[in-house]
A = this chain, B = another copy of it.
């Protein structure tokens, strides 16, 4: 499992590339969110996938998980210092993606 990823692009795709990860990050880039908030903001995600993707992102170091030992429990997720380095990357991706979507709309048949 400790395999050096060949191409750094694949690394990024691995970090961002779950079905819901871009959307999770998108919301966390705006502000810290609780687990419940994310569930509401991303209505179609299942609890399993939300938790799993949050764990993945935490493990990659891009988000932080803070537990408040209250009752009922409160868990906050936020972009880490390091995770903020993703913001300019996300902007570049967004720009290209938006442009690409427009392009595809214009010429559905090539």
Report the minimum CB–CB distance from A64 to chain B (whole Å). Answer: 11
Q: Does A71 contact B (CB under 8 A)?
A: no
Counted per complex, copies of this chain come to 2
Q: Which residues of B contact A59 (CB under 8 A)?
A: 110
Determine whether the beta carbon of A97 is less than 8 Å from that of B11: yes
| Most B-side CB within 10 Å, residue of A60, A61, A86, A97 | A97
Q: Does A38 contact B (CB under 8 A)?
A: no
Interface of A is mostly: helix
Taking CB atoms and an 8 Å cut-off, the chain A residues in 6-58 that contact chain B are: 6-13, 15-17, 22-23, 26
Q: Which residues of B contact A94 (CB under 8 A)?
A: 8-9
Determine whether the beta carbon of B17 is less than 8 Å from that of A13: yes
